[in-house]
Chains A and B, each alone.
Chain A
Amino acid sequence: MDLTLKVWRQKNAKTKGHFETYKVKNISPDSSFLEMLDILNEQLIHEGMDPVAVEKGCQSSGPVSFDHDCREGICGACSLYINGRAHGPDDEVTTCQLHMRKFKDGDTITIEPWRSSGFPVIKDLVVDRQAFDKILQAGGFISVNTGGVPDGNVIPISHEIAEESMDGAACIGCGACVATCKNGSAMLFVAARVSSLALLPQGKVEAAKRAKAMVAKMDELGFGACTNTRACEMECPKHVTVSHIARLNREFISAKFKE
């Protein structure tokens, strides 16, 4: 496949970015989207090391920076906005699980970083998602120390509840929900954690306090409010649904009543 790529380039957080256009050739439809970017980068590096091309005015900005790691859809590192969709034109995938067979020969593909005030750009397609860590540090845990805990089978948990909790726990913290939301809200991310823990007897104890602390931190860090457009669940690679937001709201309101 031969493709035209319009890629967001930005030297660092302080400079203004712009799109650059590149062509890549002979891409296998079985390659993943990130492998296609690897090929682009090898090409850009070779252009950069060619003194003749540089003399002729080739102004390569070097290889494109993008976050990636496990390349099997679980680490949540990859974070590309492709043709106007978080993780590109396929459902329930991360960018590393997107394959070139989803595109046609001759296509032009636009590649941008996550765009949200909560996620400042570090370089090119790489953004800073430390805000997510900070939200979880505000209360996304159960307050137990190592050791001195009861046997794992002491408290039975119904199969259905364990599965529902797992549905929320499946969130990989990639940030597609925030990037997709027109308000830049992190509600789905926060709700997945709050709801997953609140469903379990172990997490129920601190549920209201947790909800309040995490929502307050989310607001403080500049994420927008939720207006129930449900765009987030459409783009979530792990199929986390807005039913978790409903559960978050319940915990949040119950915390407010207790005040």
Chain B
Amino acid sequence: MAEKLISKIPEGPLSEKWTKHKSQLRVVNPGNKRKLEIIVIGTGLGGASAAASLGELGYNVKIFCISDSPRRAHSIAAQGGINAAKNYQNDNDSVYRLFYETIKGGDYRSREANVYRLAEVSGNIIDQCVAQGVPFAREYGGLLSNRSFGGAQVSRTFYARGQTGQQLLLGAYAALNRQIAAGTVKSYPRHEMLDLVMINGEAKGIIARNLVTGEIERFGAHAVVIASGGYGNTYFLSTNAMNSNGSAAWQCYKKGAYFANPCFAQIHPTCIPVHGDQQSKLTLMSESLRNDGRIWVPKKKEDVEKLRKKQIKPSDIAEEDRDYYLERRYPAFGNLVPRDVASRAAKERCDAGFGVNETGLAVFLDFSTAIKRLGEDKIRERYGNLFQMYEKITATNPYKEPMMIYPAIHYTMGGIWVDYNLQTTIPGLYAIGEANFSDHGGNRLGASALMQGLADGYFILPYTIGDYLAGQILKPKTDTNAPEFEEAEKAVRAKIDKLMSIKGKHTVDEIHKRLGHIMWEYVGMARNEAGLKKAIGLIQDLRKEFWSDVYVAGEKDNFNQELEKALRLADFLEIGELMARDALHRQESCGGHFREEMQTEDGETKRDDEHFMYVAAWEYKGEGKEPELHKEPLVYENIKIATRNYKD
């Protein structure tokens, strides 16, 4: 079935592909748009912007979210900013440079054409958000302000204090609200998609659970858009919100959509370290802090010992006794190396015994140099809310003493395979934002997730989905009484009944924590063959235990957060195995995927372009069967493939 992997990348020069492609896409006339229905799953930046834009075009849209309001989707937690190739700073930025840095940052494992298009529309996103009233930071002259992010040599990140994600989402949510008021979009908060319904091989609807009443409901449409984010919570502890999950995407996989590069998970270098086993999630400290913060550990082991015993404060350690290891190892990029590089460097120092807290799993992020240079007020203006957040959590004042940070799971570059039109291998099923795989390769650059979500939702999907819907005009409204809906609903009910009836000895969270430990230990920052093989076995055993010994409290026909968690964990227990399988098969190190067997002498990733320059797209083959691997070769016509170098 390899013929399904047709990327549909247009012919022609890179810079003309999207323009040419758009001119060839079919469009639906306004009268016919009114007859067509689209389901959107998720209300983060991708889902909200897509639903709003599709509503504006005149389609009938139904949008679903698991929170009580679309505004609470996890995009809201993005702090630092959004990239755009505006070149407002006159620092020689361009669409090409953003494109190039994104491909390089992703360690040459993303599609040229998709990434170029992303860079191309990035400027429009900023214009759109400004028009919506997003209060971006401004210079005194009244123009938009920028800062720098990791992996970039220019200043192209736009921001709204430390709440950029929230402000962009409020913009998209406002546009969505306007369409809800206009009647083009109907919103279903506190609804969770539990299955995809297909009729004659096309995506035609979903089965959802009303999270307030527990009712199982059917919804039909002419196309379905998945914008449900990533699967980082497979690890239990991550920077994802507690309810973020991979289930919507996973149901699509089980219905035939290929899942691409599942092992590419991003580990963010600057998170607040784990404090103990009562911890429920990890808090991110924005990458923007690396603009002014310097990362270090002591040079001397005796200082480390004293720090751990709290006999000295970090500020007691003399300048010459500090190892600013990123500046030492990567002089060209210093503290602003990409996330995967910074994370591994922190792990390397901590593994060597230089971790600065009691657990030995923390490094310093220090602002004293910047405070000396710019004054405390300037630092407060830039990062005030982040510093406040840090102090509330740790009871340490970061204006006086450096922050302590450690890497944590943050984002998943892998996701549902999509073609250039963002359509999956299932006709009529689209995937956008973090839920798809296409733009970030092996590692996403900071401030690019917001860019991709909004690019997909505002400027790409509204064009490409028309090409498919133009062929649906003569098709009647989807009948939710069709046998396919009947069957899907029956399967969902049976799954819920099964979970409720087990009445075993372990809570959902207990099993999820154990899955998290397996994932972090063997499918985390460093992976090897033996560990990955072991992980697959352990996950399979844990999955059996879950299905025979979990205890789901409460009732199925009522508000029940335990049941919600159990349904999601059932999927994480399968996603984790596919991640390990993919990591095992990819015998190279690239981006966030670090195979210990494949590294350079100085501990950097060692890619194998000859054998692995492809997208690994996995096809579900049924329960208990091994998934089938399909390969989409990556072709670089415009960029010279090189070893990623951030040293000089």
Residues of A within 8 A of B (CB): 11-12, 27-28, 30-32, 34-36, 38-39, 42, 44-46, 48-49, 62-63, 65, 67-77, 90, 92-93, 97, 99, 101, 122-123, 126, 128-130, 132-133, 136-138, 140-147, 149-153, 155-159, 162-163, 165-166, 169-170, 172-173, 196-197, 200, 202-203
- Residue B177 at the chain A interface, CB threshold 8 Å: yes
- Residue B141 at the chain A interface, CB threshold 8 Å: yes
Q: Compute how far the CA of A199 lies from the CA of B167 in the bound complex, rounded to whole angstroms.
A: 15
Contact in complex: A122, B241 (CB < 8 Å): no
CB distance from B142 to the nearest CB of A (A): 3
Q: Compute the total of residue contacts between A and B using a CB distance below 8 Å.
A: 225
CB distance from B122 to the nearest CB of A (A): 12
Residues of B within 8 A of A (CB): 49, 52-53, 56, 67-72, 74, 76-77, 86, 88, 124, 126-144, 160-161, 163, 165-167, 170, 173-175, 177-178, 180-181, 187, 189, 212, 241-243, 275-276, 278-281, 283-284, 388-389, 392-393, 395, 458-459, 462, 503-505, 507, 509-510, 551, 553-554, 558-562
Pairs A–B under 8 Å by Cβ, sample size 30: A12-B558, A28-B276, A31-B279, A35-B279, A36-B278, A39-B278, A49-B503, A65-B560, A70-B72, A75-B67, A75-B72, A90-B392, A93-B392, A133-B180, A136-B174, A136-B177, A137-B180, A138-B181, A140-B174, A145-B53, A146-B49, A146-B52, A146-B175, A147-B124, A149-B127, A158-B138, A162-B136, A166-B160, A169-B160, A173-B69
Q: Within 8 Å CB of A65, what residues of B?
A: 559-561
Q: Within 8 Å CB of B180, what residues of A?
A: 133, 137
CB distance from A209 to the nearest CB of B (A): 13
CB distance from A52 to the nearest CB of B (A): 13
Q: Compute how far the CA of A99 lies from the CA of B142 in the bound complex, rounded to whole angstroms.
A: 39
B388 (CB) vs chain A CBs: closest residue: A92
Contact in complex: A122, B559 (CB < 8 Å): yes
Contact in complex: B459, A146 (CB < 8 Å): yes
Contact in complex: B170, A159 (CB < 8 Å): no
CB distance from A222 to the nearest CB of B (A): 18
A213 (CB) vs chain B CBs: closest residue: B181
A124 (CB) vs chain B CBs: closest residue: B559
Q: Compute how far the CA of A46 lies from the CA of B510 in the bound complex, rounded to whole angstroms.
A: 11
A97 (CB) vs chain B CBs: closest residue: B392
Contact in complex: B77, A72 (CB < 8 Å): yes
Q: Within 8 Å CB of B241, what residues of A?
A: 69-71, 75
A151 and B135 contact, Cβ closer than 8 Å, known pairs A62-B554, A63-B562, A101-B395: no
CB distance from A82 to the nearest CB of B (A): 15
Q: Within 8 Å CB of B129, what residues of A?
A: 152
CB distance from A89 to the nearest CB of B (A): 13
Contact of B284 (CB < 8 Å), options: A72, A75, A149: A72
Q: Compute how far the CA of A28 lies from the CA of B160 in the bound complex, rounded to whole angstroms.
A: 35
Contact in complex: A166, B128 (CB < 8 Å): no
Q: Within 8 Å CB of A31, what residues of B?
A: 275-276, 278-279
Q: Within 8 Å CB of B166, what residues of A?
A: 74, 172
CB distance from A179 to the nearest CB of B (A): 15
A203 (CB) vs chain B CBs: closest residue: B133
A143 (CB) vs chain B CBs: closest residue: B178
Interface centre among A71, A128, A150, A200 (most CB of B within 10 A): A71
Q: Within 8 Å CB of A155, what residues of B?
A: 130
CB distance from B327 to the nearest CB of A (A): 29
CB distance from A196 to the nearest CB of B (A): 7
Contact in complex: B243, A69 (CB < 8 Å): yes
Contact of A156 (CB < 8 Å), options: B142, B395, B560: B142
Q: Compute how far the CA of A45 lies from the CA of B392 in the bound complex, rounded to whole angstroms.
A: 30
Contact of B141 (CB < 8 Å), options: A35, A46, A143, A156: A156
Contact in complex: B74, A70 (CB < 8 Å): yes
B277 (CB) vs chain A CBs: closest residue: A28
CB distance from B325 to the nearest CB of A (A): 27
Q: Compute how far the CA of A227 lies from the CA of B105 in the bound complex, rounded to whole angstroms.
A: 55
A69 and B72 contact, Cβ closer than 8 Å, known pairs A137-B177, A141-B174, A146-B458: yes
Q: Within 8 Å CB of A137, what residues of B?
A: 177-178, 180-181
CB distance from B37 to the nearest CB of A (A): 20
Q: Compute how far the CA of A198 lies from the CA of B473 in the bound complex, rounded to whole angstroms.
A: 42
Q: Within 8 Å CB of A158, what residues of B?
A: 138, 140, 142
A51 (CB) vs chain B CBs: closest residue: B503
Q: Within 8 Å CB of B170, what residues of A?
A: 169
Contact in complex: B77, A74 (CB < 8 Å): yes
Taking A73-B392, A128-B212, A149-B130 as known contacts, 4 extra A-B pairs with beta carbons closer than 8 A to each other, sorted by chain A number, are A36-B278, A99-B395, A122-B212, A129-B68
A37 (CB) vs chain B CBs: closest residue: B280
Q: Compute how far the CA of A156 lies from the CA of B76 in the bound complex, rounded to whole angstroms.
A: 26
Contact in complex: A152, B130 (CB < 8 Å): yes
Contact in complex: A197, B133 (CB < 8 Å): yes
Q: Compute how far the CA of A153 lies from the CA of B505 in the bound complex, rounded to whole angstroms.
A: 60
Q: Compute how far the CA of A160 lies from the CA of B553 in the bound complex, rounded to whole angstroms.
A: 52
Contact of B128 (CB < 8 Å), options: A30, A146, A159, A170: A146
Q: Compute how far the CA of A175 lies from the CA of B23 in the bound complex, rounded to whole angstroms.
A: 47
Contact in complex: B138, A141 (CB < 8 Å): no
Contact in complex: B68, A156 (CB < 8 Å): no
A75 and B559 contact, Cβ closer than 8 Å, known pairs A129-B69, A159-B138, A170-B163: no
A75 and B138 contact, Cβ closer than 8 Å, known pairs A129-B68, A137-B177, A146-B53: no
A34 and B507 contact, Cβ closer than 8 Å, known pairs A69-B243, A130-B68: no
Contact of A142 (CB < 8 Å), options: B74, B174, B242: B174
Contact in complex: B132, A144 (CB < 8 Å): yes
Contact of A133 (CB < 8 Å), options: B52, B53, B70: B70
Q: Compute how far the CA of A28 lies from the CA of B49 in the bound complex, rounded to whole angstroms.
A: 41
Q: Compute how far the CA of A200 lies from the CA of B280 in the bound complex, rounded to whole angstroms.
A: 39
CB distance from B497 to the nearest CB of A (A): 18
Contact in complex: A202, B135 (CB < 8 Å): no
Contact in complex: A152, B86 (CB < 8 Å): yes
Q: Compute how far the CA of A21 lies from the CA of B398 in the bound complex, rounded to whole angstroms.
A: 38
Q: Within 8 Å CB of B142, what residues of A?
A: 156-159
CB distance from A18 to the nearest CB of B (A): 17
Q: Compute how far the CA of A171 lies from the CA of B170 in the bound complex, rounded to whole angstroms.
A: 10
CB distance from A186 to the nearest CB of B (A): 14
Contact in complex: B559, A74 (CB < 8 Å): no
A141 and B177 contact, Cβ closer than 8 Å, known pairs A30-B275, A97-B392, A197-B133: yes
Q: Within 8 Å CB of B56, what residues of A?
A: 145-146
Q: Compute how far the CA of A169 lies from the CA of B509 in the bound complex, rounded to whole angstroms.
A: 35
Contact in complex: A32, B559 (CB < 8 Å): no
Contact of A71 (CB < 8 Å), options: B70, B178, B281, B459: B281
Q: Within 8 Å CB of B69, what residues of A?
A: 129-130, 132-133, 173
Q: Within 8 Å CB of A38, what residues of B?
A: 278, 280, 509
A136 (CB) vs chain B CBs: closest residue: B177
Q: Compute how far the CA of A45 lies from the CA of B393 in the bound complex, rounded to whole angstroms.
A: 28
CB distance from B510 to the nearest CB of A (A): 8
Contact of A70 (CB < 8 Å), options: B76, B86, B388: B76
CB distance from B214 to the nearest CB of A (A): 11
CB distance from A211 to the nearest CB of B (A): 14
Which 9 residue pairs spanning A and B have beta carbons closest together?
A: A156-B142, A141-B174, A149-B131, A152-B130, A162-B138, A165-B135, A166-B135, A123-B559, A146-B53
Q: Compute how far the CA of A92 lies from the CA of B385 in the bound complex, rounded to whole angstroms.
A: 10
Interface centre among B144, B187, B505, B507 (most CB of A within 10 A): B507
